[in-house]
């Protein structure tokens, strides 16, 4: 597989508009990011427009939900995409959230079963072609055992250190880093709090944050300033780039950056971040 690069972008068609997929992918590649992570629980065919518009960019699902996916179909879709775009597809798989899925139960068992079926498919998905959304210790360990590694989401830098310890030195660690690029501190903070509120209503994320020294008061409502500063940094692109470097120093191999609080393709934000990170220099 092509390397993911040190940095990627994370977004969704809901945020940028599916009709803008090709434009967004070309911009991401031109700016020097290595991977385009597509959120929104998309199936693999949704990556095709991103791949067709570029010639070296890796496209990844961030993430495909096991409860909404048939493993045999996923394996078939993976085979079709990788035949057309060899080495440029990464299947990110996740268990979702109990608040969003009535079937949600025994997440580790469900993930193991899903991976077993990917392995047993007519065209198996290789372990190094997939990674797992993982926060807790057991899912992180499963990520290292059964896939290329882990893709944690909505985490502070302390979680990156913890994840690296659980994964060991070889497995991929590709955390997502949400940010708000803003020169005005008040506006940036407001947009960061607004973004966080949805995730602070999901137990998987709040349980994980409580593990890392945050309190019930921190996770209430749209989050305390202390929590938001740790999980959704906001400010000039240079400050966001510094946080991304902290993720690498804590053990990340690849950091995928989500520019939140924007409408449409965040051309200005991605361009500023690429420059601050020294991409394409």
- Match domain 7-277 to its CATH number in 3.40.50.300, 2.60.320.10, 3.30.465.10, 3.20.20.30: 3.20.20.30
What is the reported pTM? 0.96
Residue 104 in this model has a pLDDT that exceeds 90 = no
More confident residue, 72 or 105: 72
Which run of H or E residues covers position 200? none
What value does the mean pLDDT of the chain take? 95
Share of the chain above pLDDT 70, in %: 96
Q: Which residue has the tokens 């609080």?
A: 261
Residue 111 in this model has a pLDDT that exceeds 60 = yes
Q: What CA–CA distances, in Å, run from 6 to 102, 174, 210, 246?
A: 37, 9, 28, 13
**Which region holds residue 71: left if phi is over 0, alpha if psi is between -120 and 50, else beta?**
alpha
- Give residue 101's pLDDT: 57
SS3 state at 175: coil
Where residue 99 falls among pLDDT bands split at 50, 70, 90? Answer: very low
- Give residue 103's pLDDT: 59
- Give residue 106's pLDDT: 84
Residue 102 in this model has a pLDDT that exceeds 60 = no
pLDDT tens for 142-165 read 999 999 999 999 999 999 999 999
The Cβ of residue 138 has, within 10 Å, a number of other Cβ atoms equal to 13
Give the Cα separation of 193 and 195 in Å (integer). 5
């Amino acid at each position: 597989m092509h390397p993911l690069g040190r940095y990627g972008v994370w977004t969704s068609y809901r945020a940028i508009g599916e009709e803008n997929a090709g434009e967004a992918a070309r911009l991401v590649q031109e700016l020097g990011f290595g991977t385009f992570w597509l959120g929104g629980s998309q199936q693999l065919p949704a990556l095709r427009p991103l791949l067709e518009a570029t010639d070296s960019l890796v496209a990844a699902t961030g993430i495909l939900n096991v409860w909404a996916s048939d493993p045999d179909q996923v394996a078939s879709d993976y085979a079709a995409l990788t035949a057309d775009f060899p080495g440029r597809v990464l299947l990110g798989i996740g268990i979702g959230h109990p608040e969003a899925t009535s079937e949600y139960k025994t997440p580790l068992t469900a993930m193991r079963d899903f991976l077993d079926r990917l392995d047993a498919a007519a065209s198996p998905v290789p372990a190094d072609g997939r990674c797992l959304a993982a926060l807790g210790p057991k899912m992180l360990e499963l990520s290292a055992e059964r896939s290329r590694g882990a893709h944690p989401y909505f985490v502070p830098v302390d979680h990156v250190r913890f994840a690296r310890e659980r994964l060991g030195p070889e497995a991929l660690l590709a955390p997502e880093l949400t940010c708000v690029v803003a020169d005005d501190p008040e506006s940036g903070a407001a947009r960061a709090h607004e973004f966080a509120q949805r995730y602070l209503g999901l137990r998987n994320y709040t349980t994980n944050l409580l593990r890392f020294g945050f309190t019930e008061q921190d996770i209430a409502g749209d989050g305390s300033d202390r929590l938001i500063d740790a999980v959704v940094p906001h400010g000039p692109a240079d400050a966001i780039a510094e946080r991304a470097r902290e993720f690498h120093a804590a053990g990340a191999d690849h950091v995928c950056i989500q520019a939140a609080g924007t409408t449409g393709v965040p051309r200005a934000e991605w361009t500023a971040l690429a420059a601050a990170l020294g991409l394409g220099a």
